[in-house]
Amino acid sequence: MESLKINFRILELKDIPIVYKWLNTDFVKQWYGKKNMTLDEVSEKYSQYIKKEKPTDAYIIQIDSNDIGYIQTYMIKDYPDYDKYVQANQGSSGLDLYIGDPNYIHKGYGKYIIFRFLNDIIFSNPKVNDCILGPEQSNIPAIKTYSKVGFKWIKTIQIPSEEEPEYLMQITKEDFESS
C-alpha cells in the first residue's frame, strides 16, 4: 500500500454532486453527518469552504487519481463555539475526513491518507503545533486508525448538538516528526 499515489486536491464546486452522494451513503452517515442531506444543503455548506466564506480548507482525497473521499482541516480557534468544549491551544488544527467510495472502506487506507495529509498539508503550515480530531467514542475502527498514526486520547467531551460524546485525540508536530 505504501506505493499508492495519495493526493489531495482542493474541493471545487464541480465536486458537490460526489460529496452529496458520499454523505448519503449508509457507511458515511453512520459516523459523519448522521442524516440524509439534500443536494441544496450540501451545496450551501461546502460552497462556503470553496468560496472561503468559512475558514476550513476542504479537499478531495485521491488514490491513484481516483476520487475516494473527503478531508478537511481548520484552526480550532476559528470556530469558538466548538473550541469552548475542546479548549485547544492557539496552534491547534482540526481534522475531519471520511472515505466515500465503498471500494476503499475497511481496507487499511485510512492511516496512509491521514499520515500523508498531516505531512503534506497540516504540519507544513508553520502556524500549526498540533492536530486534534474527535471521533465518536463508539467509532472503534476510526480510533484504532488514528492511534496507528500516533494520535493519543486527551479527553472526552460532549457537544450539546451531538448525540454521542467525542473522543478527542491529538498528535503534536514534534511527535509526528519523530515517528
4: alpha, beta or left? (left if phi > 0; alpha if psi -120 to 50): beta
pLDDT at 132 over 70: yes
pLDDT at 155 over 90: yes
Q: What is the separation, in whole angstroms, between the first and last Cα of the chain?
A: 18
pLDDT of the residue at 78: 97
Q: State what percent of residues in the chain have pLDDT above 70.
A: 99
Q: CA angle, 157 as apex, 156 and 161 as ends, to 5°?
A: 145
Torsions phi, psi for 123 (to 5 deg):
-85, 0
pLDDT tens digits for 7-22? 999 999 999 999 999 9
Mean pLDDT of 58-87: 97
23's enclosing H/E stretch is helix 16-23
Contacts (Cβ under 8 Å, ≥6 apart) of 147? 169
Alpha carbons 44 and 46: distance in angstroms, whole number: 6
pLDDT tens digits for 80-103? 999 999 999 999 999 999 999 999
